[in-house]
Structure 1
């Protein structure tokens, strides 16, 4: 009986380990004031080895591209589009197209205009992204953020 209980516990443990949720991307955020009424948001993705995060700038018909959505607010306005560094471009058979992606880490930047000088708003929004490795792609994920501008 004791062996059956130990076997059952071992089986449950191995099932729970194999069904862990993969989270190969960790996001961090910062902001820097560049003037009395201007700031830059830094949206950093740290990507585990072997995985890649897709660029914002890709043709339709492939993986889900990274996209940022910012909540409207009275104390700030989003200025221009979110920028990114140059991505790696490679043909991927699974999508039958060239894809643009980042490995290890990437910092996206967004210009913000503050509607009142001296204010310290928190810029809120979300990022939708998709990651793949050589064996699999994870479903698209959306992460909400709040970046204080000090």
Structure 2
């Protein structure tokens, strides 16, 4: 009897898992560009699947989770200024009762880094974002990265 119950439970979990969908509508990549001996730029690219979007960097209070970044450079380097990106699109969303900025397709976020010395500098970072389509919004997610400026 125990074996039959175990078999039924195993079959149920297998069937349930087969129908579950995992959505990963945003693919991230990171690169650097050295401007000169004292400055570099970290480039964080988001490729958002067609039909999906992520929210802008500056979302009004009461709106969805804005895309945001944290950076931790080493070797005495410091983040310089704010994250820059192209101007987001904007649309009215009934759920939030406001216009919200968003990105779809490909968007590149840029963060300047002031370098402290000639040594390679590692920059650890986290992108926090929320992806939505016409039918659903996924819970906020994070993309962690480490990149070396040489």
TM range (shorter): 0.7 to 0.9
* Distance (Å, rounded) in 1 between the aligned partners of 2:108 and 2:13: 42
Matches of 2:82 and 2:122 in 1, distance apart? 18
Q: Structure 1 residue 122 and structure 2 residue 130: aligned?
A: no
Per the TM alignment, residue 71 of structure 1 is displaced from its structure 2 partner at its CA by 1.8
Which 5+ residue runs of structure 1 have no aligned equivalent? none
Deviation at 1:18, TM superposition (A): 2.6
Does the residue aligned with 1:12 lie in a helix, a strand or coil? helix
Superposition deviation, residue 42 in structure 1: 0.4
Q: How many residues align?
A: 142
Determine the structure 1 residue equivalent to 2:14.
12
User: Per-residue deviation at 1:144?
Assistant: 1.1
Residues 1:95 and 2:96 are matched in the alignment: yes
Using the alignment, how far apart are the partners of 2:51 and 2:18 within structure 1?
20
- Provide closer, same or farther for how the CA distance between residues 112 and 72 of structure 1 changes in structure 2, counting only shifts above 3 A: closer
Equivalent residue number for residue 4 of structure 2: none
Answer yes or no: is the 8 Å Cα contact 1:75–1:119 preserved in 2: no
Distance in 2 (CA, whole Å) between partners of 1:94 and 1:18 is: 28
What is the CA-CA distance between 1:20 and the residue it aligns to?
2.8
Q: Is the 8 A contact 2:55 2:129 kept in 1?
A: yes
Over the aligned positions, Cα root-mean-square deviation in angstroms equals: 1.8
Secondary structure of 2:54 counterpart: strand
Cα distance per residue 1:89-139 (max 9 Å; x no partner): 1101121110000111100000001100x2211111111100100000000
| Counterpart Cα distance in 2 of 1:11 and 1:39 | 49
Task: Give the TM-score of the pair, scaled to structure 2.
Answer: 0.87
| Aligned counterparts, 1:57-136, within 5 A | 57-116=58-117, 118-136=118-136
- Unaligned stretches of 5+ residues in structure 2: 1-6
2-side partners of 1:60 and 1:28: how far apart?
29
